Structure formats: C-alpha cells, structure tokens
Structure 1
Amino acid sequence: MIHDSKLMADLAAAPAPKAPAILDNVSRRAALGGLGALVLALSLRDARADEGQTKEQKEKKYGADGMPHGWRDDPKIFVAIAADGTVTVTNHRSEMGTGVRTSIAFTVADELEADWSKVKVIQAWGDESRFGNQDTDGSRSLRHFFQHFRHVGAAAKLMLVQAAAKQWGVPVGEVVAENHVISHKKSGKTAGYGDFAAAAAELPVPARESVVLKDPMAFRYIGKGKIGLIDNHDITTGKAIYGLDTQLDGMLFAVVARPAVYGGKVKSFDDSATLKVPGVVKTVKVEGGEIPSEFMPLGGIAVIAKNTWAAMKGREALKIVWDDGPNAGYDTTAFRKELEASARAPGKVVRNQGDVDGAMAKAKTKIQAEYFVPHLAQAPMEPPAAVARVKDGFCEVWACIQGPQAANDRLMKRLNLADEKVKVNVTLLGGGFGRKSKPDFIVEAALCSQAVDGAPVKLLWTREDDLHHGYYHTISVERLEAGLDDKGMPVAWLHRSTAPTIGSIFAPDPKHELPFELGMGLTNLPFALPNVRLENPEAAAHVRIGWFRSVSNIPHAFAIQSFVAELAHAAGRDPKDYLLDLIGPARKIDPMTLGDVWNYGEDPARYPVDTGRLRGVIETVAKGAGWGRKLEKGRGLGVAGHYSFVTYTAVAAEVEVDDKGEVKVHAIDIAVDCGAQVNPERIRSQMEGAVVMGMGLALSSQITFKNGRAEQNNFDGYEVVRMDAAPKILRVHLVTSTGFDSPLGGVGEPGVPPVAPAIANAVFAATGRRIRQLPIKDQLSS
C-alpha cells in the first residue's frame, strides 16, 4: 500500500471541510501551511442551492449537522498536488479487487490532465466526518462519485492554469494544461504542475459554473481500459498489505472459541490446560451472545499467545460448557418445510395490481412451482483479520474492513471511548462480498489488546471460524403461480417470497423482509402483466443473516427466471422469445409505480426501470451464444436476465450433463449495461468473477445447519468452483446505452443473479429435468 506519512499527518490535523462549499481549498488553512501543495476537498452539497431560502426552510431541509436529511454520501476527499508535481488522491472506499482505488484516481487524473506515472493513492482511514460515507457496498462507489471526482480534477487543473496565467501575465484562456505540463503557446513558456502548486493553493476555488469538464472524446484514461491496478505490482510481488499481513512490534496473536449456535453463551470454562500450552499468554472471556447481535461479537473465550499456532492449540485445549440458547434446535431441512408451508399460505401483500384471483380462476392453464436457495457463506479467500492496539485511552486498529465508520462506531461503544480516541486504518481486502462490512472481528481484536495492557494483538479467523460463525445469506423458498391465456401468456402472476431478513440482526424477531430486500428483483418486477400480486409471508431467523454479494437478487432472479422458462415450455415457446415478450416493449417505468419504494437508494426520476436496456442485454447474450443452433445430445442452452443495482445483466449458458448426472458448463456469455463504462477492464474482471461465483451457487455451494450448528467446516464441504470447472469460453459483452453525462449503474454485484437460472434452464434444455433448488449437485445423478 502506498503511504505518504507527511501528507497523512497533515490531513489528520485538518478539520473536516464545512458542508456549504462543493470544493474547499484545504491548503489555505494554517494547519496545512507546511504541506507546500494544492489540496482540495470535495463536498457534494452546493451552498448555492440554499440561496434565497429562509432559516426555517434550511432547518427543515438540513439536520443539526448541516447535512441534508437522508443524505448519506457526502464525501470530503482530498486531492493534493505537491511541489514536485506528484498528485495524491485519497481513496475513501475499500479496495477488495474491484479496482476502486485505480478508477477513482484515474478519474481525477483524466480531468486534471495528469501524467499517470505521477499519480499515487493513499487510503483514507475511517472518518465519516472527514471523508463522507465509506461503506463499500451496494455497487455504488463509482456510481455515486464519478462526476464529483471529475469536477475535483477539472477544478484543480483550472486553478493551476489561473496561477500560471497570473504569474506569466497572460490571459487565462491562452494557457493550456496537458499531460502534467502547463504551457503558453504565444510566449513558448512551459512549466510542470509542481511549479504552480503553491501559487494555486493561494487562489479561491473557482465557482462551479466556471469549471468545464472534458468532452468524453478527449478522455485519456476514462473508458479506455488501458490502466492496470495501481496496486498490481505490490500485489503480484507480495508487498501489498492485507489485513492478515499487518505487523507491529511486540504483537501478540489471538483466536476465539465462539458459541457454535447463534445466541449461545459460555456457562463455565476451564483454561488450565490452555495456559500450559507453550506460547499462550492469557485467556479472556469475550462477552456476547445477545440477540439481535448487530455487528458485535458472538462472545466466547479468546486465547492470546505469542504466535498463531500456540493460540490455536490453546483454543483446542479449552474446556467450555455452553448454553446453546434459543437456536439449539435449528435444522435447515426441517426449516425448509416451515418455509414451504408459509409460502403456500397468504402472506403480507407488498404489491397488488389488478385482480389476480379473478384472472387466475378464468385462466385456461395454471402453472405453479417452488424454488429453494440455501444459506450461503461469503467465504472470502482472506478470512476476517484485524490488528488492534488499545493503549493510553486510544484505540487504533488495522483491518480488512468494508465499513470503517461502522467499525469506528462499535469500538467507541464497546470501549467507551470518544470519537477522537479511535482510529480505523483500512488495509487491502482479500475479498469481502459483504462479510467484511460487519466489524465484529475488529471489536474482538480490540478487547484482546485491552486485556493485555495495550500490547498490539492480531485477531485471526480460520476458515472453519468463517464458515461456522459468519453472517449468512438468507435461506429462502419462492413460490410462483401463473394463469395462462389461450396463447400461453400470463394473465395472472402470484409470487410469495419467504425468507429470514437481514433486519433480524438489528431488531428482535422481525418476520418480514425489509423494503430494500423486497426491492431486489421482487417488487420491481418489470414484466408487462395485467394482474400481479406479490406477497412476503413470515419467516424467522435462527442464524446471523447478512449481506452477500447481490443479496436477495439471488433467490428472486433464480425463481423468476426459472419460472419464465417453465411457462415458455408450457406454452410451447422459445424461452428467450417468451422472456422478451413478458418484458414487453421498451419503456421507462417509475419503480414507485411497481411498489419499489427503495430503488437502490436512487432517485426514480434519474434511475427508472428501463425495459429497453433489459431487452438489450438479453438479445446480446443470445446472439453471442448462437441462440437457436442445434446442439448435440446432452447439451443445452439457457438464458436469464435481471435488473439489479440500477444495472442490466443477462447470461446465456451452454452446459452438458453426462450419463452420471454431472454438469459441465462449457460456455457462458454475459452482457452488462451499466451505462457509461469508466473502467472497462475492471468491468470485464467483475463480470468474469461474478460468473465463477454464480456457478458455485448454482452447482455446489451451500451451508446447512443441524442442532443449530453449521455442518460445513472448510472448502471440502463448502464447495466453491475449482479452476478446472470454469468454462473454457467466457465472453463478456459490454453494452453501452448511455453517455458519461448520464447516471452510472453498479458493477460489483449485478453479474451474479442471472448465472444460476441460466445454468438451470440450460440443464432442462439438455435433459428435460427441471431444477428448482440450489445447488444442483447430485440432483441429476439418479
């Protein structure tokens, strides 16, 4: 990780920029007087929007902190130009393979007209007051900040040009900044960016309307896909620092024996054998086990030692008597039957259009099916890990965390410390997928350090810990019923989605999914149907339910896209053509009219559901896969499309099922329309990764529980896709339907949902056997 200690120290000394300015010249403050550079801070709120408003109007619009009510993303992000010309971009989001550090930096660099070789990135620590919302989730890092980072780069360039024009005594319009060089053609004068950084720092930030963004035709980095990861050399040579890599002098190591059942607690324990293990320093009881758990530790006994091996052997020697608590009897096989029973009865209505019961009664044909998706684990290749040092009333941690502010807040709460007494440093993440948005492991590390008088402690989770004690993707049963007319098209559509909610980790015993879960492919169903009723029956949670890449889009897409193929078969229609007919003609739909009150947190006017774009990605993968071609026996093609995170994706899969019932995926075509493509190379990588992850969900991955305990221990039980199972042909189609001045979509998550239904539909095309539960593993062997 690139680190500039002087710049970081100066930034730490500076107070957070005040909200009213969209750009703040931080370098003009006395606190940064020794930096000798132009330093700009960005804020999304524009004071001019408040001009002419009364005090009462402003108070109604803004909270006590001066920020708009409900506005969560207000970044104050530093971009600095040093005297030697080095451009430093402070990245406020976590890097876990998405390339966000690179994409944010080259967005600034492009508008700044910077030489990429002179650009570096430093990572922001957890401080929402200074850096704005830092939660790296929801596929929104570039979606929310792209235009604003462009503006920062363009404003910095203009300030450099103004400084040069003033010093040279020439009109600003005659001075040009290009590729880190400022020039005046008439006089032949040229200079580097560093030559005017200090002078530019004395200027006021230009008014927003005076800052002109580039014509996209002039982009050098944005949309070109020619820049690799800025961390790539360090990553490939082993120099990059991940959570597991952090080293501090005098560091101890810790693991925790946690309750095997959610809500379990320690009744008693004997650590006498543990303390005899060479290298073991201390055992500590970690309080926890409350339901709801939120982001706090599960509780248990921590073993602190001089090395990891001693800590693990000491944990093995512990003798603990557990109270398993209220979830001791949780059995996923039995619970599935409960979910099925719930899905077969009326539930809470979340969307009701027309008269479903009346239309169903008059339908010529009725089709019904139930689909099941098990618990899933994020299983990042780097399990959770954190180093903490709690000393002299100050807590500092280093961790692979997606939500540093969340970690900061929970440390304050658990350690009873003021905000200024906590600092969360963000390392690179060896995968996250939502697991590392929860800082329970960071709190554990801090409690261990506190117990050994402030010595730094590295808290590690093993793979077994990760699979046994995680935040799991919800288990679900989706029941769909349709009434078809004489042409085989639905006149009535009923969908009951039954699944424990993520809200269960925040509130006691909620029984219904939250609007954001329902808005992931359920309530915002964009089909042209006359009569629709969507219901959400009750479901209790017996484990910690958490975010998983794509979240509830996974079960909703699997069920709906599989059901569409079933309806097409019943109607004697081609499944791709039938799907397009269900979507209907190209139109833009206000998601509020569909019952989706969330819309991924976006303005419905800016982000309507665009069926033309959904049709476009489906048609693209069909063409790429050669849809309609004759295949040899045992092979089949399947297709699925989905809208998620305001992006449109589709997958066409070609599979083969052999005589033993084993599924081989030969080829995948995946198309994505996320709007303008800021970093095509990373979009391709994200789609490729999504395909492989989606294949794992389709073919082999699941977490099951018996007696409240997860039955899978490691990758021998929780099977992810191995290298030899990856398709030999994987074509990524980047569909562009909007320009750079239009809102962007998300990229990190939308590729996953259509993969499993496309594979399941291909299996039916190959064998005539319908897949209604995941994973497919062993279902075709008999």
Structure 2
Amino acid sequence: MSEITNVSRRQFLKLSGISAGGLVLGGLLPGFKPVWAQDGDALSELNLFVSIGSDDLVHIICHRSEMGQGIRTGLPQVVADELMADWHKVRVVQGLANAEYGSQNTDGSRSVRRFYQIMREMGASARTMLEQAAANQWQVPLEEVQAKDHQVVHAKTGRSLRFGELAESASTLTPPAKETLKLKPASEFTYIGKNVPIVDMPAILNGSTVYGQDVQLPGMLYASIERTPVVGANVKAVDNSAALKVSGVLDTFVMPKQSEPVLFKPLPGVAVLATNSWAAMQGRKALSIEWTDSPHAGHDSEAYLDVLKGRVKQQGKVIRSVGDAYAGMMNAVDTFEALYSVPYLIHAPMEPPAATAVFNDGSCEIWACTQTPQSTQRNVAEALGIEPDKVKVNVTLLGGGFGRKSKPDFSVEAAILAKHTGKPVKVSWSREDEIQHGYYHAAAAMHFQAGVDDSGRVVSWIQRTAFPSISWTFNGTTDEPSGSELDLGFGDLPFVLDNLSCETQKAEAHLRIGWVRSVSNIQHAFAIGSFVDELADKLERRPRDLWLELLGDDRLVDPEPEGFKYGNYGESKAVFPIDIARLKGVLNLVADKAGVEKPTAKNEAWGISVHRSFVSYVAVATKVRVEGGKVQVLEMHSAIDAGTVVNPDRVKSQMEGAMIFGLSLAMMGDISVKGGAVVQSNFHDYPILRINQSPLIHSYIVESSQPPGGVGEPGVPPVAASLCNAIFRASGKRIRDLPISKHMQV
C-alpha cells in the first residue's frame, strides 16, 4: 500500500533520486510551477509535485491540508492514475507553504474541483517524459512505447524499462506542452473513481502520526494565553506576581493591542510561558487582568436576534427580483409567511488550534494544524515585520478543521512569542479557548412569504435575510451581508416564480465572524427547506411534489438577468451551471431510497430537503420518532451528485460526517453572548452529537462524468430542514428557531 513518509530535505533528495537525476516536473500552467515540498521537519523551500528515484519509488507532493477528508490520498491518486504508477510504490510528501502552487487554502470544498485537471496534467506530463526517455534509449518512435504498471514497454520487441531506470534521462527532457498531453479516457482509469484507502490511516491507527498538538522541539516553551473575553477590549493592567510563583512558569507577555478590523490578528491578552503545559495553564489562572472598555461589551445575543427578527419583517434592500412580488402578494388568493432563526455557532473540531514556532536570525519556522499555510506565512511575516519568504510553514495533520484552522491567528501567537523568548514556543488552545475566543458562524434571521393562486400554485415569493457579515472581520465597517455570502443559498434560489423579491437587512457585528462548514448555506437552506415543507402542509401537497413544482422543468438557472451578480463559488457558470435536473435527481433518488412517502409507525415520520452548494447537489431524508417531548433520529439518507468522484469511500465518509455535523448544529448548536462575552465553554454546554444520538446513515453517490464538485461542505445544509420537517410531521410541532434542544429533549 502507499504511505506517507516523514523526510528531511536531505532525505527527500536522497530518496527521490534528485541527486542522481531524478524526475522533476517543470511548470505546466502559469502560476502552478511545482516548488520544493517536504514533510513537517523540512527546513527548505518547495519546488516539485512529482519525483521518481532510482529505487522506483514515486514521490507525489500534496500541497493541501489533510483533516480527515482524504486529500493526501485523493490528489496523489489522480496523479498516479495518469502516470500509470503502481500505487504501492507511491510515497506522498506534504507540501510547505509556497505561492507557486496556487491556492493552498483547504476550505470551500475546492481541493479536487480546482486541482483535478492540474493533477491529471502533472501525471500525464511525467508519463510522457518517461515514455520519451524510453523511446530515445531504444531509438524507436514515441508512438510505439507505452507506460504501464510502473514501467514503459515496447510492445513490438517486448522490451521494458522500470520508471526508476528512466528517471535520470527523463529529467533532462523539456516537459511537454500542456496542449500536447494525452489524458486517459475515464474507461481506463485505474485509481480515479476507486475506493483507495487513505495513506494516513496506518499512522493514525497506531498513533505515530503528528497533529498540531503533538509537535515537540528541543528546549520548547509552552504558552497558555488569557485572551480578552470581549472583542475590542485590550489589556489595561496586569498583575502577574501570583503567576510567576507557579512552579515551571518562566515569564508572562502582554500580547499586542488589537484594533478593528480584527482580521487574523491574535486577540489581546496575556501569555504565560512555562516549561510544561500544566504550569502554563495554572499560571494563567493566577493572572489578574483589567481590561479596557469595548463598544461590544453590551452585546446580548438573545436581544440581538430579536432585533434581526424585527428587521427582516420589514422591506429590505432588493438584490434579485422577478416581476412585482408585492403586487403578486396582494393579488394572491392566499398568503403564508414564516420567520426562522439560527444562533451563533462554533466549529468545535476535536483538535483545538495549536502551533509551534521558532524564530532565529530574522527567519521563522512554524509547525501548525493549518488549513491555510500561505495565509499563515503572510500573517506571521506581517506580525514579525519580515518578508514572507523568511517564514516556513510546516503543515501537520489536522484533527478536524471545518474552517476554524483557515484563520491563522494561533500561528501568529506562537510566532510572536517565539520572537519574544528566542526559544521554540508552542501555543495550545484549550477547548474553552476554542469555544470562547474563536471565529463564529453568524447568528441569522430569515423571513419568508409566499402567495398562491386559486389552484394552489405559488405565484409570488418574498425572502429576507439578516446576519453579521464575515466582511466585518476584514474591514471593520460592513453591517450587511456581502455578495459572496448571499451567493450561498439565498440569491441563487432555483425556483420558477412569476414574482420574486430577495432582500437583505442590516446586521452589525460584535464577534469575530468567520466561515464554518458550509457557511451561509447553514441558515439559508434551513429556512428555505423548512418553508417549502410548511407550504406543502398548508396546501395539502406531498413535499416532494411541491419541491418538483417549484424547481420546474429541467433547465440551467442564471440569476444574473434578474439583478443578482452570482459568484457561483468562484467557478465558471458555463462549466458549473445551476442544473435543475441534477437537483431533482438527488431529491428523487433519496426520496425513493428512503421510502419517504410510505406509511410509518405512530409518532414517526420522514422529512426531506434538497440544496445546491459548492457546485454540488445534495438531498437528505431524515426519519424521527417523537414521544414525550423527546426527539430521536432513527435514520438518515443522503444523496450527492458531485460530478466526477475520485475516491467514493472518502465521499461517503464525508457525507456521513456531514450528517453528524449537521445534526449537531441543528439539535444542540448554540453560542450565546452576554455582556459581549461568550457564555459556553466546553462540551457540557456546547454539546456535539453522541453515539446514542446518532442514527443509521445511508449515503448514495450519483455516478456522473461532470467535472468534480465540492464534497466536504454540501452535505450539511439540507440536514436541519429535513430534521425539523420530520419532527413536524411526527409531532405537529414546527421548529423555526434553532437549536431543537430549546424546544424538545434531544
């Protein structure tokens, strides 16, 4: 089986045969020139994606972060397939931060959809160079040789040469032009579309792999930081005398003041530096800190959500319209309306953030469980006043991320403290730190209104949303949703409607707002999916039938002619259009597989919902039992159409994880704020789904030849609506304000 190897730069050069002329791919595309890459203990720059040693081992660089989604297997899988490599002779090497790779920000469900084609080209280029090297050695036309099973063969004579035997001569050749590459037809794929076990699994199971929390360096100090409980407050005074008396505590350090915008700067606070983590934490408890006033100190999440609810009941700023929705509502035979809300939420990955830093001679090296090594590099450089090329970022495995670890503030903390002490410093966030000082999913309110004619057809639709924007984190002034956030399940409503008005209302930010798995799709899919179900109930229609009617005929949807500039997750609308046939396809698939229209036992029922996000299509069906005010989730079915799938096993795993993640948020997710400070602190008051709450899960993958879409996030959005719809049909109780635990026992 393939494996991850931990190698230094010198070991990497030796193993990959570079010193003996091993293969190094040249740049195929502007901005994607391969660069040096190596594992966590590497000390030098990156410069390649593929290398082959004389020992026949193929080293493939993965420049994205692994957090359980299997990307350190998926992308090398693609390269190995086009290369005609033997997967058992593949070694995966983790890439360091370097802009030459293009984006290394492993979020937005972009890794495969952005790099699938490029990785195919990398593999095909290497294969072509090996074939050319063999043809040159045998003095035969290139067309007569073929790479196969980790060697190049000449069918006419039966001769063959191993990849390792060709690496040196192949490395002297000019890489073929992109337009000359011959990619394999899908019918000949060896690894793409197959259930290849993830390369990290053995090390994960035996405990030998390294996460951010595991990094150990000689002479390392441990830091625990008491951070401001209220955004906008700084340290006014500190008494560290008691902290310095704790055995093992060596020093304290006041972190830099922070002004808005908050960006990815560390929160203000006081760091305690010690010889061990326990001493650092105990010393932190002994600190006495006085904070400055903050304009956000009066923030109360419950009152704030009430304000947002009031605002969305009023006409707002129109971002997309069809016909005259207000006139349509006046002329409707009947109208229905509903108000929905979602509280603040936090990521809660199993591994809280952690980073270790060393600062020497004007250069810094970081080891971190980061989703974004390039942003880490830039932000650390800015904080230290050095050039980005003086910062090396080693990416460890991530014990979950969900978007939290794409904010590099924790790495900046470690870098600042390493520069201050002149020693290696490890900053470990506790669970309390992660919950109380993170970047939060925005609290949101949504109002929906629909008008129907005398035949029960929806003829007018008004929807409004209000939530504090992520943009505030970056500019400190925005008080309304950004266009990119409205792209996520709101302005891209795919329904056929005579009259439509999509509107926004203002919402001031008081916490650090950041992206959480599936971002604004969380609230928008919950509201839309719930409202369709409510309409179906009022109109005495089957939910599936109303969904299909609203979606209309198979077609491609473009919201732009209706006034909404649609970003489409950064993808081409020609390549990744909003395809109604695919939406209806997953809806029908999951409804049929689950049997949602079949009779159920007393107090049991199904709920369904469907949503497009990150250019993929997902439908979810959830079955619940409600008795004595308690809801039990019995069964969940999900169907995803993500286009071409590289590793079905990983897609299934991601969908199962999305069901669990989505259930956690819908059932119990609730960050509340009093006096500007987060109330919750750990899993006792911010619980996540336990085994006894987890249902039987079935996942279906639509076979498709379409370009790859996202997988990590699209499974989450339909979950909450399908769950609440099931609860209503089992109990008659409609839940419009999440989490469910505020209304029922879970």
> Same fold, TM exceeding 0.5?
yes
Instruction: Report deviation, 1:745.
Output: 0.7
The one-letter code sitting in structure 2 at the alignment partner of 1:211 is: L
2:737 is the counterpart of 1:770: no
Aligned to 1:724: 692
Instruction: Report deviation, 1:33.
Output: 6.7
Q: Secondary structure at 1:212's aligned position in 2?
A: coil
Aligned to 1:45: 30
Aligned to 2:743: 779
Could you tell me whether the CA contact under 8 Å between 1:41 and 1:76 is conserved in 2?
A: no
Could you tell me whether the CA contact under 8 Å between 2:319 and 2:491 is conserved in 1?
A: yes
5+ residue gaps in structure 1?
12-26, 48-74
Aligned to 1:143: 113
In structure 2, C-alpha distance between the alignment counterparts of 1:46 and 1:406, rounded to whole Å: 17
- CA deviation vs aligned residue, 1:713-755 (integer Å, no higher than 9, x gap): 100100110011110x21101012x31xx42210010000000
Give the counterpart of 1:192 among 158, 162, 181. 162
2:652 is the counterpart of 1:658: no
In structure 1, C-alpha distance between the alignment counterparts of 2:480 and 2:179, rounded to whole Å: 47
Question: TM-score when scaled to structure 2?
Answer: 0.95
2:700 is the counterpart of 1:733: yes
- CA deviation vs aligned residue, 1:677-716 (integer Å, no higher than 9, x gap): 1110110000000000000111111111111111111001
Could you tell me whether the CA contact under 8 Å between 1:260 and 1:709 is conserved in 2?
A: yes
Q: How does 1:47-86 map to 2 (within 5 A)?
A: 78-86=49-57
Q: How does 1:351-750 map to 2 (within 5 A)?
A: 351-452=320-421, 454-594=422-562, 595-659=564-628, 661-727=629-695, 729-736=696-703, 738-739=704-705, 742-750=706-714
Aligned to 2:315: 346
- CA deviation vs aligned residue, 1:269-290 (integer Å, no higher than 9, x gap): 1000100100001100001332
In structure 2, C-alpha distance between the alignment counterparts of 1:719 and 1:512, rounded to whole Å: 30
Instruction: Report deviation, 1:117.
Output: 1.0
Could you tell me whether the CA contact under 8 Å between 2:28 and 2:178 is conserved in 1?
A: no
Aligned to 2:39: none
Aligned to 1:5: 8
Give the counterpart of 1:108 among 75, 79, 83. 79
Instruction: Report deviation, 1:36.
Output: 2.1
Instruction: Report deviation, 1:46.
Output: 9.7
Q: Which segment drifts farther, 619-628 or 164-173?
A: 164-173
Q: Secondary structure at 2:295's aligned position in 1?
A: helix
Aligned to 2:69: 98
Could you tell me whether the CA contact under 8 Å between 1:640 and 1:650 is conserved in 2?
A: yes
Could you tell me whether the CA contact under 8 Å between 2:631 and 2:745 is conserved in 1?
A: no
Aligned to 2:149: 179
- CA deviation vs aligned residue, 1:197-230 (integer Å, no higher than 9, x gap): 01111111123333211111111111011x1111
2:37 is the counterpart of 1:34: no
In structure 1, C-alpha distance between the alignment counterparts of 2:62 and 2:457, rounded to whole Å: 50
Could you tell me whether the CA contact under 8 Å between 2:125 and 2:175 is conserved in 1?
A: yes
Q: Secondary structure at 1:615's aligned position in 2?
A: helix
Instruction: Report deviation, 1:240.
Output: 0.8
- CA deviation vs aligned residue, 1:625-651 (integer Å, no higher than 9, x gap): 112111111111100000000000000
Count of aligned residue pairs for this structure pair: 728
The one-letter code sitting in structure 1 at the alignment partner of 2:622 is: A
Q: 1:273 to 1:666 in 2, by over 3 A?
A: same
Give the counterpart of 2:97 among 122, 126, 138. 126
Q: Secondary structure at 2:24's aligned position in 1?
A: strand
Q: Secondary structure at 1:358's aligned position in 2?
A: helix
Q: How does 1:226-265 map to 2 (within 5 A)?
A: 227-265=196-234
Q: Secondary structure at 1:277's aligned position in 2?
A: coil
Could you tell me whether the CA contact under 8 Å between 1:262 and 1:289 is conserved in 2?
A: no
In structure 2, C-alpha distance between the alignment counterparts of 1:780 and 1:434, rounded to whole Å: 29
Q: Secondary structure at 1:492's aligned position in 2?
A: strand
Instruction: Report deviation, 1:420.
Output: 2.3
Aligned to 2:178: 208
In structure 2, C-alpha distance between the alignment counterparts of 1:506 and 1:596, rounded to whole Å: 21
Could you tell me whether the CA contact under 8 Å between 1:375 and 1:704 is conserved in 2?
A: yes
5+ residue gaps in structure 2?
33-45
Give the counterpart of 2:717 among 753, 757, 763. 753
In structure 2, C-alpha distance between the alignment counterparts of 1:576 and 1:604, rounded to whole Å: 27
Instruction: Report deviation, 1:38.
Output: 0.6
In structure 2, C-alpha distance between the alignment counterparts of 1:319 and 1:716, rounded to whole Å: 26
Could you tell me whether the CA contact under 8 Å between 2:625 and 2:730 is conserved in 1?
A: yes
Q: How does 1:314-353 map to 2 (within 5 A)?
A: 314-353=283-322
Aligned to 2:238: 269
Q: Secondary structure at 1:754's aligned position in 2?
A: helix
Could you tell me whether the CA contact under 8 Å between 1:280 and 1:314 is conserved in 2?
A: yes
The one-letter code sitting in structure 2 at the alignment partner of 1:536 is: T
Q: 1:104 to 1:7 in 2, by over 3 A?
A: farther
Instruction: Report deviation, 1:173.
Output: 2.1
The one-letter code sitting in structure 2 at the alignment partner of 1:513 is: P
In structure 1, C-alpha distance between the alignment counterparts of 2:18 and 2:476, rounded to whole Å: 51
The one-letter code sitting in structure 2 at the alignment partner of 1:150 is: R
Instruction: Report deviation, 1:35.
Output: 5.1
In structure 2, C-alpha distance between the alignment counterparts of 1:717 and 1:35, rounded to whole Å: 59
The one-letter code sitting in structure 2 at the alignment partner of 1:2 is: T
2:250 is the counterpart of 1:278: no
Instruction: Report deviation, 1:77.
Output: 5.1
The one-letter code sitting in structure 1 at the alignment partner of 2:155 is: K
The one-letter code sitting in structure 1 at the alignment partner of 2:66 is: E
Q: Secondary structure at 1:254's aligned position in 2?
A: strand
Could you tell me whether the CA contact under 8 Å between 1:77 and 1:91 is conserved in 2?
A: no
- CA deviation vs aligned residue, 1:141-188 (integer Å, no higher than 9, x gap): 000111111111111111111111111122222222211122223323
In structure 2, C-alpha distance between the alignment counterparts of 1:357 and 1:44, rounded to whole Å: 51
Aligned to 1:157: 127
Aligned to 1:72: none
Could you tell me whether the CA contact under 8 Å between 1:288 and 1:296 is conserved in 2?
A: no
Instruction: Report deviation, 1:593.
Output: 3.2
Instruction: Report deviation, 1:251.
Output: 0.6
In structure 1, C-alpha distance between the alignment counterparts of 2:27 and 2:316, rounded to whole Å: 46
Aligned to 1:50: none
Instruction: Report deviation, 1:78.
Output: 1.7
The one-letter code sitting in structure 1 at the alignment partner of 2:138 is: W
Could you tell me whether the CA contact under 8 Å between 1:349 and 1:534 is conserved in 2?
A: yes
Question: TM-score when scaled to structure 1?
Answer: 0.91
In structure 1, C-alpha distance between the alignment counterparts of 2:271 and 2:456, rounded to whole Å: 61
Q: 1:781 to 1:10 in 2, by over 3 A?
A: closer
Q: 1:294 to 1:543 in 2, by over 3 A?
A: same
Could you tell me whether the CA contact under 8 Å between 1:489 and 1:571 is conserved in 2?
A: no
Could you tell me whether the CA contact under 8 Å between 2:576 and 2:615 is conserved in 1?
A: yes
Aligned to 2:279: 310
Aligned to 1:87: 58
- CA deviation vs aligned residue, 1:597-628 (integer Å, no higher than 9, x gap): 21101111111100000000000110011121
In structure 1, C-alpha distance between the alignment counterparts of 2:639 and 2:603, rounded to whole Å: 25
Instruction: Report deviation, 1:781.
Output: 5.9
Could you tell me whether the CA contact under 8 Å between 2:492 and 2:566 is conserved in 1?
A: no
In structure 2, C-alpha distance between the alignment counterparts of 1:119 and 1:650, rounded to whole Å: 36
Instruction: Report deviation, 1:3.
Output: 2.6
In structure 1, C-alpha distance between the alignment counterparts of 2:96 and 2:657, rounded to whole Å: 28
